[in-house]
Structure formats: structure tokens, C-alpha cells
A and B are shown apart, each in its own frame.
Chain A
Amino acid sequence: MENVAWMAWTAPTAVFFVLLAGTLALMTWLALAYPEAERVGILRIPTTRGDRLFVSLISAAVIHLVWIGTAGTDTIATIPVGEGIDVSSLWLATAISLVFGVAVFRTV
């Protein structure tokens, strides 16, 4: 671990990157197992699954940043586990991003 100390890993960012790598691996497998053709959606540009994933990931980043900038990150609920885990309102942005991602995959 000494060798990667400069990268300053944390558990949450590690989980984030593992999920991201998992998504990319899944998409690669999907592309090999079920090849697909491009299709034209509401943006009127031909897109593949990969394009739609890219658009939804970028949108998720923008949605989270806009949420932090406008709505803030107040606690909206407390999960009664141990001393209680505060749930930030930023999870609402995550929920919006997921819904938006599904919409992108269906319509773009």
C-alpha cells in the first residue's frame, strides 16, 4: 500500500471507481454478447448503448453539482441504526440522476 500512498485512496472513492469499472465491464460484455445497431432518438443523432451511458453519466455529474449549488445538502432523514445515520438531500439528486439515466437509455 505504501506504493500507492500518493494516490490518497479513500473507501468511498474506491467504491465509486469499482462501480464505474463494473459498469464499463458490463457494457463491454453486453456489446460482445448482444451486438446492437445505432438508433436515432430525440436528440436526432445516432447513439449506441455506450453513447447513452456517457450522456447519462455526464448528466448525473451535472445534476449533482447543480443540486449542491442550488438545493444544498441538508439532512432530510436519519436512519435509526446505531447512533443514527444522517441522509443528505444529495441522495435526491442521485435518485433524479437514476431516473434521468433510465429516460436517456429509453429515448435518446
Chain B
Amino acid sequence: MDKTVNQKAWLLVAPVFLIVAFSAVLPLMTVVNYSVQDTFGNNQFFWNGIGWFKELLDPSTDLGSRFFASLWRNLFFSAVILAIEIPLGIVVALSMPREGWRVAACLVILALPLLIPWNVVGTIWQVFGRPDIGLLGYTLNHLGVNYNYVSNEIDAWATIIVMDVWHWTSLVALLCYAGLKSIPDAYYQAAQIDGASRWAVFTAIQLPKMKRVLLIAGLLRFMDSFMIYTEPFVVTGGGPGNSTTFISIELVKIALGQFDLGKAAALSLVYNLIILITCWIFYTVMTNAGADHKARTGEA
């Protein structure tokens, strides 16, 4: 049966286009306009051409040094949390029960940190780590560890990394668990007949079957951690010094603290470009990993 082509349905999507235009496209166009100008407020703008971009990409200037420093800091943070959360998530997923009431209990416990808003997570850890009243800070200092995230860079980094691991490892674990659940029992039975070791089962069956969810988890966590703002802002405020100032925190400082709209706009565009590229890779990998999978298993 032939389908009639009717484009009128697009009219129903029109409100979405309007909302997106209002909330995203027009503001983004304004950012582009700001990025080539300088302002002293009062809607007075002066043409600056690509001046802000030149400054931004030149590490010898103030703007450039701050941009590159926060970029490397952010990439390092993402690398560290990925290196911890992915393996830890796999281990948690592997040690979760397969059936019975304990499955539900585990899922609820794992979902709990994911349901807490970012600023609340930040506040919890900010109080938790305080040497005077916080359980963690107080205990550590009484055990003889000189821990103070307000004045020590390493302590500040350790706190926000542990906080992120606490907040997001569940997501990786839940994704891995979903991947593990989709493996038919026949694979394990075959492995048992062959006398495969636990390690062989992991590398030959479980890991390949979890490849797709791990890819999704890795990219999701990378993007989230690359855009992180609230949690480190609440806990350390970017300090001590600038040691935990990530790109988004630097951006807010420049845009709202110093009110340098031109510099902030140039920085946001470059930041946006990095995220756009990551999103595109994410989208492409996800859609095509699915296509490969279907082609191999012969599904329509």
C-alpha cells in the first residue's frame, strides 16, 4: 500500500522550532556578535574583529593562559574520572546479583546518587569534607592525615574526584549491568563446557558484549565531566588559587565576574565547538554501532 505524502505534519513541529529559535539560536547568534566586539556596558559596542580569538589562542596573553590552563585541567579531570569510573563501574556491575529481590535493592541503591541534584551533591561533600564539622574531614584529621580541601590543592582535587566517582559510577555500573543482562545463558553454558576460566569468560564474552554500553558510558561521562560546573563550584569555588577552575567556571568568571562579554563570547564559541565535535562523534558512534550490530546479527 502506498503512503500518501503529507508535509502538513511539519506544522505541528513549528512550536518546537519557535522555542528552539528563542532559547538557543538567537542567544547563540548574539554570542557570535559579541565575540567580535568589545563593550563597556549600556549596549555600546566597539568592533574588535578577531582580536578576542587571537588573544584566546595565544597562551602568552592573560585570556589565553587562563583558557589553556583550564582546558588542560578539565581534560585531566575527565581522564582521571574516566580511568576510575569505567573499571569501577564494570566491577560493580559484575558483582551485582543476577536474580531475586537483591536485584531490585541493588538497583535502587545505585540509582540514589544519580537522583540527587548537582548543587546538593556539592553541598553534601562540602560539609562532609570540612575539618571542623564534616565527618570525612574530621575523621581524617584525627587519624593524623592533614586534610583540608580549602587550602591544599591535592586535597581539593581528591575531594572533587571522589565526589564525581561517588555521584556517577552508578551510571556506568547500571549501563554495564544492562549490557551483562542481555547476554544469553547459552554463552555461559558453552564457556563452562569448554572449561573457561573466570578471566576468559570476562574477556571473551562479557567485555565484547559490553563494548557498546561502555562506549556510551565513556562518551556520556566525558561530556558531562567536560562541562562540569556546579559541583566543583560549590565545593571549592575553583580554588585554592585557580587549581580547580574548570572551563565553565572560568567562563562564568569572565562573563559575569569581569563582564568581559567579548572575551567570554569567544571562549564560549571555542568551548561550544569542542562539545559539538564530541557530540557529533558520540551520535555517529552510537547510530553506527547499532547499524553494525544489526548487520552482523541479520536483524532488519
Could you list which residues of chain A lie within 8 angstroms of chain B, going by C-beta atoms? 5-10, 12-13, 16-17, 45-46, 54-55, 58, 61-62, 65, 68-69, 72-73, 90
Interface of A is mostly: helix
B residues contacting A by CB (< 8 A) are 26, 29-30, 32-34, 36-37, 39, 43, 45, 47, 50, 53-54, 57-58, 270, 273, 276-277, 280, 284, 288, 291
Given that A45-B288, A46-B288, A65-B273 are contacting pairs, would A8 and B58 also be in contact in the complex, using a CB cutoff of 8 Å? no
Whether the Cβ atoms of A12 and B57 lie closer than 8 Å is: no
Query: By the criterion CB–CB under 8 Å, are A10 and B36 in contact?
Result: yes
A selection of 29 A-B contacts at a CB cut-off of 8 Å is A6-B30, A6-B43, A7-B29, A7-B33, A8-B33, A8-B39, A10-B45, A10-B47, A12-B36, A13-B29, A13-B32, A13-B36, A16-B32, A17-B29, A45-B284, A45-B288, A46-B288, A46-B291, A54-B280, A58-B273, A58-B280, A61-B273, A65-B53, A65-B270, A65-B273, A68-B53, A68-B57, A72-B54, A90-B50
Interface of B is mostly: helix
Task: Check A8 against B37 for contact (C-beta < 8 Å).
Answer: yes
Q: What are the residues of chain B within 8 A of A46 when measuring CB–CB?
A: 288, 291
A55 contact set on B, CB distance < 8 A:
280
* Partner of A13 from B33, B43, B58, B276 at Cβ < 8 Å: B33
* Interchain CB contact under 8 A, A8 and B288: no
- The chain B residue with its CB closest to the CB of A16 is B32
Residues in B neighbouring A90, C-beta threshold 8 A: 50
Is the beta-carbon distance between A5 and B43 smaller than 8 angstroms? yes
Chain B residues within an 8 Å CB radius of A45:
284, 288
A61 to B274, CA, bound (A): 11
Contact between A69 and B26, CB atoms less than 8 A apart: no
Instruction: Determine the residue in chain A with the shortest Cβ distance to B53.
Output: A68
The answer to whether B26 and A7 touch across the interface, beta carbons within 8 angstroms, is yes
> Known contacts A45-B288, A68-B53; is A7 also within 8 Å of B273 by CB?
no
**Which chain A residues lie closer than 8 Å to B39 at the CB level?**
8
Chain B nearest CB from A2 CB (Å) reads 10
Question: Which residues of chain A are within 8 angstroms of B50 by Cβ–Cβ distance?
Answer: 68, 73, 90
Q: Which A residues touch B53, using CB under 8 A?
A: 65, 68
For residue B174, give the distance in angstroms from its CB to the closest CB of chain A: 28
CA distance A6 to B34 in the complex (A): 10
Q: What separation, in Å, do the CA atoms of A7 and B50 have in the docked complex?
A: 18
| Chain B neighbourhood of A10, CB < 8 A | 33, 36-37, 45, 47
Which of B26, B30, B47, B273 is in CB contact (< 8 Å) with A62? B273
User: Nearest 6 CB-CB pairs, A to B?
Assistant: A69-B57, A8-B33, A8-B45, A7-B30, A13-B33, A45-B288
Name the residue of chain A whose CB is nearest to the CB of B27.
A7
Cβ–Cβ < 8 Å partners of B26 in chain A:
7
Q: Quick check: B33 and A9 within 8 Å, CB to CB?
A: yes
B66 to chain A, nearest CB (A): 15
A6 to B270, CA, bound (A): 22
User: A78 to nearest B CB, angstroms?
Assistant: 17
B276 (CB) vs chain A CBs: closest residue: A58
Q: For residue A64, give the distance in angstroms from its CB to the closest CB of chain B.
A: 8
A46–B280 CA distance with the chains assembled, in angstroms: 14
**Complex Cα–Cα for A9 and B50 (A):** 15
Kindly list chain B residues whose C-beta atoms are within 8 Å of the C-beta of A62. 273, 277
